[in-house]
Amino acid sequence: MQCTRRVGGWPHLAMVTMVGGRIFATDVISRASLPALERTLAALTGEAVSTATASGSEIRRLIDQRIGGASFGSGDEGRFFQQLRLGDAYNNIEDPANAERAYREALAIRQKILGPNDHGLALTMMKLAAQLAHESNDAEADGLLTKAGQLIADRGEALPAAQLDFYRATVAAYEDKTK
């Protein structure tokens, strides 16, 4: 089954199988981890990989169908969070060029994994928008906030809506539109 982290929208895959009367449950961050998962399950059960997973090709087909074939791994997730932290750190020491670069890289990683229209992109877009507004790139900042708003509009969740309000206010302050 496909799962998504509630915070951040990172896709995970969960699998439960019974082999020899024993139940095994696991989750992985991407389909790239599936061969390792299959080998581990086979080693734990003493079965061949194809027997332990019932139908490895069918599982791969379902995974590709559900996550759109995007290949990523825990390293991508780690790089995303590293770039986000770097953006925040550069922002705190008033290094706008490096903060913007880090936020753009974080957004690119998320877009590669989640696609261009996933609600999980919204917060990263908001952070980049605030950074761009701080650098007087008002048009791009406003465009990112508009897109972020569209991505979360149908979610009906309080936290993303509150975050969007906060970043809209931040961008308005940088653009001197608070009067």
The better pLDDT of the pair 161, 50 is held by 161
pLDDT of residue 4: 65
- State the Cα–Cα distance between residues 44 and 40, nearest whole angstrom: 6
Which token pair is 34? 């599936």
CA 136 to chain centre: 27
pLDDT of residue 8: 58
Indicate whether this model's pTM tops 0.85. no
Residues 106/80, Cβ–Cβ less than 8 Å: yes
pLDDT of residue 144: 97
Place of tokens 């790089």: 79
The better pLDDT of the pair 126, 8 is held by 126
pLDDT of residue 99: 95
Residues 123/163, Cβ–Cβ less than 8 Å: yes
pLDDT in tens, 138-158: 999 999 999 999 999 988 888
Answer positive or negative: Cα dihedral of 163, 165, 169, 172: positive
- State the Cα–Cα distance between residues 34 and 57, nearest whole angstrom: 11
pLDDT in tens, 73-97: 557 778 988 999 999 999 999 999 9
Does the domain at residues 74-174 carry the CATH identifier 1.25.40.10?
yes
Q: Where are the alpha helices (DSSP H) in 20-157?
A: 34-45, 49-52, 56-67, 74-92, 96-114, 122-134, 138-152
The residue ranges of every structural domain in the chain are 2-67, 74-174
As beta bridge partners, residue 11 has 4
pLDDT of residue 48: 67
Asked whether the predicted pLDDT for residue 45 surpasses 90, the reply is no
